[in-house]
Amino acid sequence: MKKGKILITGSNGLLGQAIVSIFTRESDFELTLTSVEEQSNINLNFNYIQLDITNKEKTKKAISEVSPDVVINCAAFTDVDACETERELCWKLNVDAVKNLIIATRPHNIKLVHFSTDYVFDGKNGPYDESSVPNPLSFYGRSKLAAENAITISGTKHAIIRTMVLFGIGNKVKANFATWLINKLSAGEMINIVDDQIGNSTIVDDLAYGTLKLIESEREGLYNIAGKDIESRLDFTYKLCEVFGYKKSLISVIKTKDLNQPAPRPLNSGLITLKAQTELGFEPMDSVESLQLLKYQMGF
């Protein structure tokens, strides 16, 4: 599918903004943007609807009125540690809201594209492909798996994209791993980085690009879309230092358990993207390439 109407939820977030950007540049889709905020963070002339997808009736009404061919759900509660303590809110945003989207899309045969995470796995024997059996450790991971399962058994036309360690820049978006590193290291601050969390760091531009390829191909089902390199957070940080010219002496190496975080992390993780590469023509950047792009985007 090269043309049609797409409704994007969570369009004000990092991923939502990247989706809007690449779909505007690389496709002829007609976009409708929605987010919970009163105004759009994107200063372009798009149709924008304020929408809280935890409200079932308003979600049904908005999707019925727009009548899109595809709904891309970029809305989620992604603060992993907060999900442990604010479980009711986590479930409302990550599961109940997705069920509302299912209810709104299924009767009209609208395709639902949803994003999930490597946190559906326990991180004991990664990297994982699409056939690997989930076993989430955290409440966040359980909520994301519950949403996956709800979509899979719903009978609605769908695609689920798993990704991990998303980074990049956007307008009025919260910090992510890479931008946090840049903020700290550029100020000459010492930082603690773990060497026992393994996985793909994914620049948001790659995830948006993979999403475009998925929709254009009209394929359904489950796809891993993530960065090319499977490496430790420490190795990624060292590469960032090299690309941006920061001092590696500012980095103290620690273990995940030293952080005493509320939510357990999958340590030996990572997502194998061979299916997306083979079926969608998705070619991810490696870490250095993605960091060089980030440096350019930030005007360094």
Give me the residue spans of the domains in the chain: 3-167+202-228+270-285
pLDDT tens, residue by residue, 112-131 = 999 999 999 999 999 999 99
Nearest 5°: CA angle at 250, between 248 and 253? 85
Neighbours of 102 (CB within 10 A): 20
Q: What's the pLDDT at 197?
A: 98
Q: Nearest to residue 255, comparing CAs of 227, 232, 272, 280? A: 232
Question: Taking a C-beta distance cutoff of 8 angstroms, is the pair 154, 161 a contact?
Answer: no
pLDDT tens, residue by residue, 143-174 = 999 999 999 999 999 999 999 999 999 999 99
Cross-strand partners of 71: 7, 112
pTM of the predicted protein model: 0.97
pLDDT tens, residue by residue, 27-72 = 999 999 999 999 999 977 889 999 999 999 999 999 999 999 999 9
Average pLDDT score over residue span 255-284: 97
* Distance between CA atoms of residues 217 and 277, nearest Å: 12
Pick the CATH number of 3-167+202-228+270-285 from 3.40.50.720, 3.40.50.1580, 3.40.50.920, 3.30.2420.10: 3.40.50.720
